[in-house]
Amino acid sequence: MAMVFVAVPIALAPWLVFGNNQALAREKQIAVTGPANPTESEEPTPVESIGPEPVRAKINNSSASELEIPLEINANVSKMMPAMPVYISLDIPHHNNNTVSYCAVYPYPQPLPRIHKEVRALDTKLFGIKTLILQTAYSRKTMKTMAYPIGGWRWQAAYARALKRSGLDEPHILVNLYQFINDILPYCHEECKRSNEIEEKRVERFKRAEAEYSETRADTETEATRKGMVPLGVKYTKFFPNGVRQAVVKLIPGQWWVIATHKVPGLTYYWQEPLSVHPGEPAEIVLNEENALLIEGAW
């Protein structure tokens, strides 16, 4: 059988090439997005299955300051912004040139320090209290700079409160001493019992803090990591004439713990105070002898 060849004019060749290019473009579009009017047998190909996953912007943690957290860390963190100012005050009567203070805030509880020696209760027997009054009021005057005063700092504080409540003046001559002891004795007895009650409550709070750490530390740390909450160091920047020190730190809303220590010759204080920060509400916390979780030394 004879073959028939049809001659195509050269002028029509570019149009054939353009038509082929259009057909190839339509095939590529169908391969990516599917046909314009897909039938039951022709399902559109999902876009997610074509090509690599979109590249996400990397978080530049170095651009964040000490008190700020990048908004890209977590959507929940973005909702909780902005961070609220928290004022932390240290109100302790014992300060000198050798004072060493440390403070930080954590979004989860910390392991508690080991107790080196249990605090002994103050003597509540009348004879023992009379002996302490005699030594403190007349025989051995205690200066505030002493590291280990007579009876310990708890007795010194109890005696000072009793003296203030009684309205009495310390005797300057031996003749008035024993009358002074008899007059102030009931006040000192009450203050000694009150001091022992405070220490009993302190021991109970320490045990509860230990239990809280053991039971909730793992879950609390996981939740803090999910929210982008990280520990922050705190530095005291204001020093008042009465000895109070104050620091300011910005925290995102949530549950925090203020961890602090204060060391002077003869005494060591430790705090682990829970702190709740709410949106739009600045917070304040005062660290003092009463809410300290542990006090060791000449206490």
Concatenate the DSSP letters of all residues of 78-111 into one string: HHHPSPEEEEEEEE-S---TT-EEEEEEESS--P
Average pLDDT over every residue of 63-89: 56
Angstrom distance (rounded) from CA 49 to CA 56: 17
Domains defined along the chain, listed by start: 64-114+229-297 (2.60.40.10)
What confidence tens digit (pLDDT) does each residue in 119-140 have? 889 999 999 999 999 988 876 6
pTM of the model: 0.69
Average pLDDT over every residue of 73-101: 74
Average pLDDT over every residue of 39-51: 38
H/E element, 289: none
Q: Phi, psi at residue 170, to the nearest 5°?
A: -65, 140
What confidence tens digit (pLDDT) does each residue in 166-195 have? 999 988 888 888 999 999 999 999 999 999
Q: Provide the mean pLDDT of the chain.
A: 77
Amino acid at the residue 138: Y
Concatenate the DSSP letters of all residues of 28-63 into one string: HHHHHH--SS--TT-PPPPGGGSSSPPPPPPP-GGG
Tell me which of 73 and 85 has the higher pLDDT: 85
CA dihedral over 281, 286, 290, 292, signed as positive or negative? positive
Instruction: Tell me whether residue 134 is exposed, middle or buried, using C-beta atoms within 10 angstroms of its C-beta: 0 to 12, 13 to 18, 19 or more.
Output: middle
Task: Count the neighbouring beta carbons within 10 Å of the beta carbon of residue 80.
Answer: 19
